[in-house]
Amino acid sequence: MGEFFKTWQRKFGVMTLLMTLVFTAGWVRSYVLFEKFCFRVERFSTSHQHLYSTNGQIWWSRLLEEQGGLHCNWHCSNKSSNVIICDPNEITWQWKVGEFEIGEHPDIGIGRVTYAIIPYWSIALPLAAVSAFLLLSNSGKSPSKELADPAPFAPIRQGEFPL
């Protein structure tokens, strides 16, 4: 078993498989729960970064506050509580391709908000493909090395036929 994980390719394959499982769990969980994580990139910045997980999507938003006051935290609630991030009709979408969207809400009372929506499948499926390729592909042995060292055969004498 230890031989299987000797190459960097297999180690990276296991790492991408674990990341695939995390994003797939988040994908499934987003249909049952609404989660919000708020953080600041810089300690004394007036902008807040928010990550939301809901309806099979990851919403990222950046709030440029005109005044301080928002607390950074993590929040989780059931879907039955009807938590709404914002009304999508009030967002000015600058870029929209399929389920990928980027837009801006000009003013929500405390500042301007930029949104980006990324579906979970767009992260989980490519990670699964990369993981499968890395784990199932050849372990790094080149076919030329295998041909250079053929298995020893018993010599065939004249008049004998190999079975």
Rounded-to-integer distance, Cα 7 and Cα 5, Å: 6
CA dist 83 and 144 (Å) reads: 60
Q: What confidence tier does 8 reach under pLDDT thresholds 50, 70, 90?
A: confident
The ranges assigned to domains in the chain are 7-136
The pLDDT value given to residue 121: 94
For residue range 30-81, list pLDDT tens digits in order.
999 888 888 777 766 667 788 989 889 998 988 876 555 556 677 777 765 5
Average pLDDT of the residues of the chain: 78
Task: Read off the pTM.
Answer: 0.67
Segment 75-127, tens digit of pLDDT: 777 765 556 677 777 788 888 888 899 988 876 666 678 889 999 999 999 99
